[in-house]
Amino acid sequence: MSAASCLLTEDQFLCSICLDVFTDPVTIPCGHNFCKTCITEHWDIDLPYQCPTCRKGFNMKPELQVNTVISEMAAKFRQSAQLIPEEVPRDVYSGSKMKTWMLFLAFGQQEGRNHTEPSGWLLDNSVEE
For residues 24 and 15, the answer to whether their CB atoms sit within 8 Å is: no
pTM over 0.85: no
Q: How far apart are the first and last CA of the chain?
A: 17
pLDDT digits (tens, 9 = 90+) for 78-102: 777 665 555 445 555 555 545 555 5
Return d(Cα 11, Cα 34) in angstroms, integer: 12
At residue 98, the 3 state secondary structure works out as helix
Average pLDDT of the chain, as a whole number: 72
pLDDT at 108 over 90: no
**Structural domain containing residue 48:** 4-126
Q: Phi/psi class of residue 20: alpha, beta or left (left: φ > 0; alpha: ψ in -120 to 50)?
A: beta
For residues 37 and 23, the answer to whether their CB atoms sit within 8 Å is: yes
pLDDT digits (tens, 9 = 90+) for 62-84: 999 999 998 888 888 777 766 55
Strand partners, 35: 25
